[in-house]
Structure 1
Amino acid sequence: MMEELVSGIQYGFEWETTGYIERKIHYGGQPVIYYQFKTDASGRMIHVVPDGCVDLLFCCHPGKPSARVCGTVLQGKALYFESDTIYFGVRLSARLSLLLPNLPLKEVIEIQVPFEDSLSKYKNTGAIIAELQGFSERIRGFEKLCMPILSGDVRSIRMIDYCLTSMQRSNGSVTIRELAEDTGYSERYIRTKFEQSLGISPKLYNRIIRFQRSLGSIVRGASSLTDVAMEGGYFDQSHFMKEFKSFSQHTPIQLRKLPKPSSPFL
């Protein structure tokens, strides 16, 4: 099985907090991004963008630990986080997100659901993770507590898995008609199953793939926005700018000008 290609970039977590750190680990060929950051003393709104992934987010506040399942947003927005608090997160690939037990992804699109309401089997995980000290220890703790989440069998979603692979390999340019020709299923069936599984349409997922690829190029310092637009499969600069601002709340030029912290993790 090929590796998930969508990177799940969330620049707000890295640029608008203190000492962001992350680590990618593969489980059965599927990447999981672990990350951790600390909010400032006043608390703040942090920008999030569409990525097609599900995040398991742990608030490690000593007095009020919590754990939430966070579905992808569909456009750029800002969310409030507790002040002076460490957050530990686990970003699942789209494939692993589909295998979360008894949790249809369409029920968490653009919302955050407490673990006890959505993953009741793991309802005590938040308190345990909050008591652990250090990024690496929290990763080990999550692996110990939640390995069934990380080791799901993607064969149970074979058709959707094929569509995800094709869409990611094509940089979001493959059409539903092409997927129907490749799989032997009708366009209507593929569209219905995709929306039932991920909670969004194939067309929107393709758009998110293109946005995330372009976002990655800009975050890595690509010099030419024209090249970024072309490589992202956009029709023209106007289309690129409109789409990018819809998904990020910033134009590419504005995004480049945002301040980036340099302080080490505390």
Structure 2
Amino acid sequence: MTRAPGQRFKYHPFQPSFKKSLPTYTKFIESTPSLLSEGIQYFGFHLDAGHLDSMFILPDGCLDIVICCYPHQPSANICGSIVRRRKGIFVRPDCDYFAIRFLPGYAERFLKYPVSEFTENEIPLQDVLPHADRLLEAVAAQSSFTERIRAFEAFYTEHYSSKLDTPALVEYLTEKIIGGKGTVPIADLAADTGYSTRYMHKTFERYVGVSPKLFSRIIRFQHVLNALEKPRGAETLDGIMELGYFDQNHFIKEFKEFSAVTPTKYLKRSGLLVD
């Protein structure tokens, strides 16, 4: 169970409702301090009243801390991994939102709770994180996306002395699943690690929030979403076997399970397919 130096698969979760609907949507991939490693991404947006009830989140295997930067009363929720499309719950319109996205496996060391406890839940940050009020005040006091990133990273440096990381087993499994686009058989992963399937599942769920099998399905779904957005993306529907699906019915059923619509309807709503 070894990984060659430098062989790391970058994961860029795709949330079309935000990226395609909000002109203010901003994303920053790399975190600056070495303590934060490669386990965090940031994004921000201004949400007006017209979009308050029309934002939908799709499964991506990540955990987010979403901060409403209302100057006099900032608030934040921990948004655990979801397993089907969900309507975004935002507390205020006409407000800047700043979010810290923990990539799969990295949130447990920050929150100091099993990530599985947050799956399919939204929990106020103040109920979980010591000094949460200080973090919210520091982030909300800033006027730009970059300054909010610096405020969070300063908070992390002040309150956490160790590098944000994840156990070697979890790192290995997430990299194999992401690198294989969700198509690596779970039995092969268990054989590679040398651990029992039970131990592998228990550890993975603690740090990622879902089982390796469900995480693989989510990664495969995310890979399909990205493929559909590329030029001639509609042709992806003709190569479902190469994406790891048994047949077209399997593909449609799983896509609809995660997105609540069929692949064809998704393409039409996104303007990627014309009748």
Distance 1:259 1:209 in 2: 20
| Aligned residue identity for 1:49 | L
Q: Find the counterpart in structure 1 of residue 198 from structure 2.
A: 188
In the alignment, is residue 145 of structure 1 matched against residue 168 of structure 2? no
1:232 deviates by 2.4
- TM-score calculated relative to the size of structure 2: 0.84
Distance in 1 (alpha carbons) for counterparts of 2:239 and 2:44: 29
Q: Assess if the C-alpha contact under 8 Å between 2:104 and 2:207 holds in 1.
A: no
Q: 1:150 to 1:168 in 2, by over 3 A?
A: farther
Q: Percent same amino acid among aligned pairs?
A: 33
Return the letter of the residue paired with 2:55: I
- CA 142–203 in structure 1, closer or farther in 2 if over 3 Å, else same: same
AA aligned opposite 1:51: D
Counterpart AA for 1:38: H
Select 2:189's aligned residue among 168, 171, 179: 179
Larger relative strand fraction? 1
Change (3 A) 1:26 1:133: closer
Distance 1:149 1:207, change over 3 A: farther
Give 2:240's aligned amino acid. A
Partner of 2:25, secondary structure, is strand
Q: Which deviations, in whole Å up to 9, do the C-alpha atoms of 1:38-96 show, x marking residues without a partner?
A: 22224324100111111111101224311221111110111232211111111121132
Using CA pairs under 8 Å that are at least 6 residues apart, name the structure with larger relative contact order, 1 or 2.
1
- What residue in structure 1 maps to residue 254 of structure 2? 243
For residues 180-239 of structure 1, the C-alpha deviation after alignment (integer angstroms, 9 at most, x for no partner) is: 221211122212222233331111011001001111112334241325634421122221
1:62 maps onto 2:67 in alignment: no
- 2: distance between equivalents of 1:191 and 1:54? 18
Counterpart-to-counterpart distance in 2, 1:127 and 1:244: 40
Q: Which of 44, 58, 61 is 1:49 aligned to?
A: 58
Q: Aligned with 1:207: secondary structure?
A: helix
Of 11, 14, 19, which aligns to 1:14? 19
**1:34 equivalent among 42, 47, 53:** 42
SS at match of 2:24: strand
Q: Aligned AA for 2:41?
A: I
TM-score by length of 1: 0.87
- What is the aligned partner in structure 1 of residue 81 from structure 2? 72
How far 1:103 sits from its partner (Å)? 1.9
| Equivalent residue pairs, number | 258
